Structure 1
Amino acid sequence: MNSEKHNSPHWTESDLIGRLYGVEPEEGRSERHLAECPECGNRWTALQANRRSVLAESPAPSEALEERLRLQRQAVWARIEQPRARLLWKMIPVTATAFMIFVGLALHQTKQPVAPSQLSAQASDAQFFNEMASVVNQETPRAADPLQGLFEGSAAGTAVEAQ
């Protein structure tokens, strides 16, 4: 049914309202048809009369309303033209947050420093040099000891099973 209306030369309500507001009609709608067709012409005339009556009945804007609108426009323009907040004011929350995180980490990571007198009591120089000599003289690095322990345990386990 829509295809019949679309293909029809008659003007639809939306076409007439569009013409009333200066919109070009759809393709296939001619001004000549509007002038010759009594149905479309009557609807067009009624629509124009309705618009004229609405415009005639609407009150003219009062001076108070115009003044209010002028003040609103001025307020909007004043707000638009205001300078934006400075970067410093925007950075305060970021700086405060970073400072609080830093203080929190500093308080959390505090450790008691080891006094030099405690170090000498724990180990003597001779012990230190002996340990260093044993590390240097090892054929394999100390880090390989756990891996070697794994293989020695499995070899010992097979030897126990064989007995």
Structure 2
Amino acid sequence: MGSDEWNTWRAGEKYLSGIAVTPELEKAHLNNLDLSHADLSGANLLLADLRGADLRGADLSQANLRGADLSKAYLGGAVLHETVFELTTFRETDFSYCKMQSTVLFNCDIRDCRGLLEVDHEGPSYINKETIRKSADFIPLRFLLELGAFDNLPSCKKNI
């Protein structure tokens, strides 16, 4: 199912809690949708609009969220193993109690994300210098340490 089909179908559906799909959702309009506990592992959500989406407990393992907009989305308890966030928009996005391992945060601004100190780091993840630069004074140091940021960016070690 491509994004056009998904968008047409979803226009009449508000509640999709617990769905299990591996969809091709490039550019899909999923804003304000209840996707709690949905299995979206491996989904292509490139440039998807997920503003205000409820993704609590969703499995987004190995999902591609490059260029997606997750402004005001709730990711509480979501599984983000090997999830790729690159050029992803995060404005007031809530990461409380989500599970990260090998998660990629590249070229993102996470300065006003919520719940970063409650993230469950189940293994090291990846953050690049551009993400740190964009969010510099607003990222809790403990989040960066638990993420393994300084293991992946040796040049940052001398700055702590």
TM-based fold match above 0.5:
no
> What's the TM-score, normalizing by structure 2?
0.20
Question: Which structure shows the bigger proportion of residues in helix conformation?
Answer: 1
Name the larger-Rg structure. 1
TM-score scaled to structure 1, two decimals? 0.20
Q: Which has the higher strand share?
A: 2
- Ranked by relative contact order (alpha carbons within 8 Å, sequence separation 6 or more), the top structure is 2
